[in-house]
Structure 1
């Protein structure tokens, strides 16, 4: 029995799924040091003796993001790039501002599950599973919704007032892939023939769509 438990634990630790998560800290903290020219899965640790309170601090999420854009939305992300002390801790936070009828377009976070809390207004949110099933909900102030890691999701403001959400993410560097940007705005561009076949559209329409990005 003991040998079986040990074997299962060894397999779990060696699986790609287990290694996909942010690394667990082996000390109190590991403040990101961006100066050394060493590439690792994260950042090199700053000498703990040089740590200061500012390494764990960020100010500004009380301020609304600039939503003066085509989408009418703005995400203000606080990750390891903004708080060096988040390195190895596996969390990040974001503020989401959406104007009436604005949209945070379909996107994924390849390294993080997201939990969203509505602080002001109303949002229609949803995510799509790997078998193309949509889970969606209209959220109001105080409501909470979870987007599983890696799945395409979106937030839309169907109301007439500015909406604000606060998101927590299970990675110090969640990553962001916007579906439309990735397909139509890649550099260099994906072949018209490929996109036309994938999206079942003619090449003229594909060319027009790419011009918007």
Structure 2
């Protein structure tokens, strides 16, 4: 399967480099390029790609706002790429429904694999960002900030099996790894993940993972 992707990055030289890297993969096709957030949303509507690689800081419409529009309209998954690992960008992108978050210093091989991971429907957060999130979760007396604004009480809607799946998501496991841990078929895992997202009113498995960490599940 070919992964169709739109690259949104305001710096033309950086954008050209990303296009070159992604285009070198036999299973990835760059179908569009955008230099600002508004154009990224327009291309997502026009081309319906599988994935948008979205920079955070762009003119006309920032990457977080553009991500929110793309996800809300169900146009594509979004993998956010930025030089910044500040919490405000991480949480902003996750709350907007991004399926993944990478730093721009990610090497070419890891960037390509990240695109493949997100295209498989599995969320991804850069290791450096994960460490920041864990530190944030561990902060004493920190109020719970649930991704997407969901009420923590909605977790009670989950069945015991769905709570196990949510716990596994919080550990950062892929569908295949969850299948092994819980001794179930991978297709069944996908079904449970979809049900968890629906019941918790979340947009992505990454948001579910953050919620699991937030609530200590």
Assess same fold via TM > 0.5: no
Give TM-score, length-normalised by structure 1: 0.24
Between Structure 1 and Structure 2, the one with more strand by share is 1
Pair member with larger Rg:
1
Give TM-score, length-normalised by structure 2: 0.23
Between Structure 1 and Structure 2, the one with more helix by share is 2
Q: Which has the higher contact order (CA 8 A, sep 6+)?
A: 1
